[in-house]
């Protein structure tokens, strides 16, 4: 899908030189993606990059964006797990304590306040004994070594699983999950757990069937996913869909408007359906709290993705949405983990480095560059055309890698004529009466074409 007139060049994989190209320990590696930021465990240290307006990178600043990985303060070694939510991040430190940083509007940092933090804060009551952590849109969950699950933060849809709809700035126990849980995952407003029997239980928002119980009824306590009472090896929650990995197949359920369920349709499902072509040989699956796409690592270490592709986040060299899996170009082997953000995807390599692809407006690819946007406005009757088939008749964005030169042209409609480019001091890209305008996208710019009726 191309949103709001955004037209992008086919996205290619970019090796992020900020990550280590060698020497990283694969046993300590992990990668996770929020809306427009990414975090990873690299050689035991927590590092983050991308958007940072709420301090979600954890480096002690709220600098708007970082195009290369920065160290998370106080988490330079021994980090066991890491998770990125929409505007916050969390990690399990070497001592089993959970620490969170970034936006805290709903108490998702878990420190008993609603104060945003640019450095990690210890989650109240979880100074030890945590095994893993999952970050959603504005809520967080932790899996304890006892097999119990606790959650905190936004609870408008019951995503904390405590039987209420009240936000909590400190952890609360998830009803019925005091033991026996093996893995957890969090979507935008829902949460799921893989239990020791191999079954899956979910709770929270269910407007699109993302809980998988055959209904669209919101649940403030866990309910069993239909048909998945055993045999599940891994789970992954997207924004409003969920997937599970079994030994013989991958299944998904929930919203499917962009093909994120991978079953060859765009039909919403409230119970699991099989992903086309992934009957065997899948090692792991990935989605994220802001993602409308899904990825899988295959046995050989290659990656396939499906769903939303408006910014090339499927990595197949196009911006065409896919309702069945497509191979990621350039990742035929050697991948140990993947992460899905809103419009970007990252892969952690066995070498300890990483590759990211898709949108890069906030530096979330981690390769030292940014995408820049030319916002085109049309006043009157006419169009503005540009590279790659770009065509705008009202208001559209043309997004390209920082420093790219683009040429746009004003084309009046019948009975109209082009008058001029309206220049805006400070961020205007074009001025004067020439039909063509050349712009070097070293920053974000606006180009306004004014057309008037012929007299």
Phi/psi of residue 233, each to 5°?
-105, -25
C-alpha 406/C-alpha 428 separation (Å) is 14
In the chain, CATH 2.60.40.10 covers 371-453
Query: pLDDT band at 62, cuts 50/70/90?
Result: confident
Strands 7-8 and 395-401: parallel
Give which of 295, 293, 243 is closest to 272, Cα–Cα: 243
Strands 200-204 and 30-33: unpaired
* Candidate CATH numbers 3.30.470.30, 3.30.70.1140, 2.130.10.30, 3.40.640.10; the one for domain 3-358: 2.130.10.30
Q: What is the mean pLDDT of residues 103-118?
A: 98
pLDDT at 18 > cutoff 60? no
Task: Give residue-wise pLDDT tens across range 189-219.
Answer: 999 999 999 999 999 999 999 999 999 999 9
pLDDT at 386 > cutoff 70? yes
> How high is the pLDDT of residue 13?
38
Taking residue 192's Cβ as centre, other Cβ atoms within 10 Å add up to: 28
> How high is the pLDDT of residue 29?
87
Lowest mean pLDDT of 5-19, 155-169, 346-360, 438-452, name the range.
Answer: 5-19
Query: pLDDT band at 28, cuts 50/70/90?
Result: low
**What's the pTM?**
0.88
C-alpha 422/C-alpha 418 separation (Å) is 11
Give which of 299, 365, 410 is closest to 15, Cα–Cα: 365
C-alpha 272/C-alpha 261 separation (Å) is 9
In the chain, CATH 2.130.10.30 covers 3-358
C-alpha 69/C-alpha 43 separation (Å) is 13
> How high is the pLDDT of residue 58?
98
Q: What is the mean pLDDT of residues 311-335?
A: 96
Task: Please list, residue by residue across 52-71, b when 16 or more beta carbons sit within 10 angstroms of its beta carbon and e when fewer do.
Answer: bbbbbbbbbeeeebbbbbbb
Query: pLDDT band at 9, cuts 50/70/90?
Result: very low
CATH 1.10.150.110 fits 371-453, yes or no: no
> How high is the pLDDT of residue 23?
25
C-alpha 377/C-alpha 346 separation (Å) is 33
User: With contact defined as beta carbons under 8 Å apart, do 305 and 325 qualify?
Assistant: yes
């Amino acid at each position: 899908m191309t949103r709001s007139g955004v037209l992008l060049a086919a996205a290619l994989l970019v090796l992020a030189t900020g990550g280590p190209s060698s020497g990283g320990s694969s046993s300590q590696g992990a990668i996770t993606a929020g809306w427009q930021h990414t975090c990873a465990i690299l050689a035991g240290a927590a590092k983050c990059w991308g958007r940072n307006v709420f301090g979600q990178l954890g480096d002690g600043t709220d600098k708007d964006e970082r195009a290369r990985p920065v160290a998370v303060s106080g988490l330079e070694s021994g980090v066991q797990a890491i998770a990125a939510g929409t505007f916050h991040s969390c990690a399990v430190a070497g001592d089993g304590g959970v620490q969170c940083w970034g936006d805290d509007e709903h108490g998702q940092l878990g420190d008993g306040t609603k104060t945003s933090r640019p450095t990690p804060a210890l989650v109240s009551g979880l100074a030890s004994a945590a095994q893993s952590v999952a970050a959603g849109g504005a809520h967080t969950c932790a899996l304890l070594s006892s097999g119990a699950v606790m959650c905190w933060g936004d609870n408008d849809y019951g995503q904390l699983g405590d039987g209420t709809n009240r936000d909590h700035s400190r952890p609360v126990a998830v009803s019925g999950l005091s033991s026996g849980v093996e893995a957890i995952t969090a979507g935008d407003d829902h949460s799921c757990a893989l239990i020791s029997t191999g079954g899956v239980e979910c709770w929270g928002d269910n407007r699109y069937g993302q809980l998988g119980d055959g209904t669209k009824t919101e649940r403030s306590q866990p309910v069993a996913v239909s048909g998945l009472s055993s045999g599940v090896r891994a789970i992954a929650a997207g924004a409003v869909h969920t997937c599970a990995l079994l030994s013989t197949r991958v299944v998904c359920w929930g919203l499917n408007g962009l093909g994120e369920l991978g079953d060859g349709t765009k039909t919403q499902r409230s119970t699991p359906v099989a992903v086309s072509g992934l009957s065997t040989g899948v090692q792991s699956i990935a989605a994220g709290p802001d993602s409308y796409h899904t990825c899988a690592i295959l046995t050989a270490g290659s990656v396939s993705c499906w769903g939303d592709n408006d910014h090339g986040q499927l990595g197949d060299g196009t911006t065409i949405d896919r309702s069945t899996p497509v191979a990621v170009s350039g990742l035929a082997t050697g991948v140990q983990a993947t992460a899905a953000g809103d419009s970007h995807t990252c892969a952690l390599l066995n070498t300890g480095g990483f590759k990211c692809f898709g949108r890069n407006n906030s530096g979330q690819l981690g390769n030292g560059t940014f995408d820049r946007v030319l916002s085109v406005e049309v006043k009157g009757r006419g169009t503005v055309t540009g590279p790659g088939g770009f065509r705008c008749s009202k208001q559209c964005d043309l997004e390209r890698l920082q420093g790219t030169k683009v040429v746009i042209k004003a084309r009046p409609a019948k009975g109209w004529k082009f008058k001029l480019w309206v220049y805006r001091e400070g961020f205007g890209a074009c001025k004067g009466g020439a039909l063509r305008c050349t712009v070097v996208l070293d920053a974000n710019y606006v180009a306004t074409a004014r057309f008037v009726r012929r007299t």
